[in-house]
Amino acid sequence: MVVLDPPLDVTFPPLLEAELVQRRNRFVVLACWPDGSIVEAHTNNTGTMRTCSDPGSRIWLSKSDNPSRKLKYSLVLIEASSGGLVGVDTAMPGKLFVAALARRGLAGLEDYRLRRTEVTVAPGSRLDVELEGPRPAFVELKNVTLVENGRLYFPDAVTARGARHLQELTRLKAAGMADAFAVFVVQRPGGEGLSPADHIDPHFGAVLRDAVRQGVVPLAYRAAVSCEGARIVESIPVIL
């Protein structure tokens, strides 16, 4: 198990270990408790989670006491077949980013501070973060879990929504309104660089490269993950 010595950027609630039985649909997985009973758990990760969702994998679930929730448990971590824990909660990149930004732990963004999150920039269009700094800046965050042949990739499924976010960043940058950053948060070990997954979604790759040509800055950071929490620990090169 990974033990993180510096303070965590995000601390998890107590997590419960189980075994992944199968992914029932985009939002539900079946998990087996140590006593052999089966439970349904929610996942907010609508990608394929390829390379980190093999049946029989050890997983960790959080439990909610909210009586209005249909499913009490949520999928947080999976142990990859290649080894190491993978964070599959897509809400985590935002939390990690905000915490690491506050401690000046994001290379390339040391001069920025948080202004607000979940920012509406056009009717029906919202970006993850707005920053204050040398210039106003907007950030869109993506969660990365896919590694193949020693390279990290995003996305792991076709994402028209992800491409639209990049186009919105490009529009803001081209209009001279703000700086723009596409930030990829890697919640797993392995992989020497991050690239767009052209073999999965060539449109996203084309849109990302066009955004970079027009001044959007791609950044990638790795979070070390344990059952206690996670912390952003290093920058990763983005290879286009």
Domain holding 46: CATH number? 2.40.50.580
* Pair 67, 96 in one domain: no
Residue-level pLDDT at 82? 81
Confidence class of residue 235 from pLDDT cuts 50, 70 and 90?
very high
Domain of 40 in residue numbering reads as 10-87
Residue 4 in this model has a pLDDT that exceeds 90 = no
**Phi-psi category of residue 156: left, alpha or beta, with phi > 0 → left and psi -120 to 50 → alpha:** alpha
Confidence class of residue 1 from pLDDT cuts 50, 70 and 90?
very low
* Pair 105, 196 in one domain: yes
* Pair 127, 221 in one domain: yes
* Pair 142, 177 in one domain: yes
- Residues above pLDDT 90, as percent of the chain: 87
Residue-level pLDDT at 5? 57
DSSP classification of residue 233: E
- Give pLDDT tens digits for 60-105: 999 999 989 999 999 999 999 888 999 999 999 999 999 999 999 9
Q: Residues 209, 234, 193, 172: what is their CA dihedral angle, to the nearest 10 degrees?
A: -10
* Pair 186, 111 in one domain: yes
Q: Does any domain span residue 1? A: no
Which has the closest alpha carbon to 62: 13, 102, 27, 106? 13
Domain count, the chain: 2
